[in-house]
Amino acid sequence: MPTLQLIKTYPVKTLLLASGLCAVSFYFSTGFYDNWLLTWLAALPVCFYALQSRPGEAVLAAFTAYFLGATNQFGYLPPLTFIGATLLSAAAFSASVLLLRSLTLVNRPIFAPFAFAAAWTSFEFIRSLVSSFGTFDSLAYTQVYNLPILQLASLTGIWGITFLLMLIPACLAVSWHNRQNKSICRLILLLSGSLLTVSLLFGLGRLYLPADGPVIKIGLAAIPATREELRSQNTETITTTLHRYSSSIDVLAAAGAQTVLLPEKIVFLTAAARETGLSILSETAARNKVTLIAGLSLQEEQLYNTALVFSPDGSVLHTYHKQHLLPAYESHYTPGKALIFPDIFTSGRAGIAICKDMDFVLPAREYSKQGAGILFVPALDFINDGWLHARIAVMRGVESNAAVARAAQWGLLTVSDSRGRLLGVTSTSTAAGETSLLREVPLGSGRSLYSLTGDWLGWLCLLITALTVLRLYCLPQRSR
């Protein structure tokens, strides 16, 4: 039975089948899941269905599929945030599918898949500019284990990966829809296949070429702590925590660590505890002759979420204040504005960011532009989302052509190189005692094409989408 006739005969069943397959693919490839291959196929059932169905049915299938696929994060995000963000994303996916359908049916089948991919990429790009969560929900992060495709981020940022993820299933759907027209079908497959092949070849080539920076040995450590202990302003609690960290640093330094990274907000230093707390960290750095990077809640004239960098002689080299604060949870903190470039290495530059800073393309892109070859990231996390945030940091490293060391209090200790290869991963959320990680990591050199040119692809997709919608709007109603 022809596909169109099948949909007319079984309208409800075919709609449920298309949206169900799409939803399952999105559910198990996004959020907390890492089945990256499914992301490439997720949009295919709905795209295929949309080209054979009425506009309302296409929108319903797309909206339902995306909404259900996003429920893997239900219970993780606050209810109102989840509902609002998911409804908006589902609406954007539906609009993109409707654009694909409209262009295909007005005899623009070759351009239609590219417009579909550009439309969704435009949505992700705009969302990253206005959302307090930055790029957190991008489909591109599903490809962190897909190393060849991951390298595309060094050229285009995450937008190139998102574009490909939507382009391929749309091309398959449109080529099948036009299977009677061999020339159109072949051209669509040739264009999409060529783009995918070039991306893979670039990725494989970049993976083959070694990082050209020096190799350093980094230590990361995390001590189990409750929320109450992290927020405690009791001097005895603070000194006990810092002495435990001091012992961990001693062990890492004895094993050869040149730089030691600690998590975010390991203690709350008020004016009364500041001198005592800083002296413990300073003495530890000096005793072991290591560079020490520690995340602290630091009360000055205002309260800051801070990373302090101690030199091997114990002096405070730099102070970095977190720029992107977590809404509601960190409303009493003051955001920072400045980048810092600690003089840790003689042959390279380093940058500091804190946890949620990495959900945004800045400040990482600016660090890369200034030549930082490694980013040190104190972080917190909330147990279940450890890898969810760690993989975002890995992506920022590839975008920036920089290695990344990230230490989370309730998540993972991770070290990755400038190609996104994981050099070490250790869970801190399930550990009964202290957790540490020691790894040698080759530094990147920063200055990726993406960091130097910015979000050029995001803006290009936005322009293409705007012009396409305007063009469609100007077409006679009969043609749509």
pLDDT digits (tens, 9 = 90+) for 13-29: 888 999 999 999 999 99
What pLDDT is stored for residue 13 in this prediction?
Answer: 82
Please answer whether residues 238 and 277 qualify as being in contact, where contact means their C-beta atoms are separated by less than 8 angstroms: yes
pLDDT tens, position by position, 210-246:
777 899 999 999 999 999 999 999 999 999 999 999 9
C-alpha distances (whole Å) from 252 to each of 174, 285, 287 are 56, 11, 12
Identify residue 379 by its one-letter amino acid code: A
Write the CATH number of the domain with boundaries 214-444.
Answer: 3.60.110.10
Whole-structure pTM value: 0.95
Q: What is the DSSP letter of 476?
A: -
What pLDDT is stored for residue 478 in this prediction?
Answer: 46
Identify residue 473 by its one-letter amino acid code: Y
The candidate with the shortest Cα–Cα distance to 267, out of 252, 278, 256, 251, is: 278
What is the residue extent of each domain of the chain?
12-209+455-474, 214-444
Radius of gyration from C-alpha coordinates of the chain: 25
Q: Angle at Cα 238 formed by Cα 234 and Cα 243, nearest 5°?
A: 150
Can you tell me the distance from the alpha carbon of 41 to that of 35, in angstroms, rounded to the nearest whole number?
A: 11
The candidate with the shortest Cα–Cα distance to 104, out of 196, 183, 193, 176, is: 176
Q: Locate all alpha helices (DSSP H) within 139-208, ordered by sequence.
A: 147-150, 153-156, 158-177, 182-208
Q: Token pair 């994303």 is at which residue?
A: 89
What phi and psi, each to the nearest 5 degrees, are found at residue 379? Answer: -145, 170
pLDDT of the chain along its 480 residues, tens only?
Answer: 455 555 656 667 888 999 999 999 999 999 999 899 999 999 999 999 999 999 999 999 999 999 999 999 988 888 888 999 999 999 999 999 999 999 999 889 999 999 999 999 999 999 999 999 999 999 999 999 999 999 999 999 999 999 999 999 999 999 999 999 999 999 999 999 999 999 999 999 999 987 778 999 999 999 999 999 999 999 999 999 999 999 999 999 999 999 999 999 999 999 889 999 999 999 999 999 999 999 999 998 899 999 999 999 999 999 999 999 998 889 899 999 999 888 777 667 899 999 999 999 999 999 999 999 999 999 999 988 999 999 999 999 999 999 999 999 999 999 999 999 999 999 997 666 899 999 999 999 999 999 999 999 999 999 999 999 998 877 665 444
Please answer whether residues 14 and 46 qualify as being in contact, where contact means their C-beta atoms are separated by less than 8 angstroms: no
Q: What is the DSSP letter of 335?
A: P
Q: How many residues does the chain have?
A: 480
What pLDDT is stored for residue 348 in this prediction?
Answer: 76
What pLDDT is stored for residue 328 in this prediction?
Answer: 82
Can you tell me the distance from the alpha carbon of 353 to that of 304, in angstroms, rounded to the nearest whole number?
A: 13
The candidate with the shortest Cα–Cα distance to 407, out of 363, 361, 434, 376, is: 376
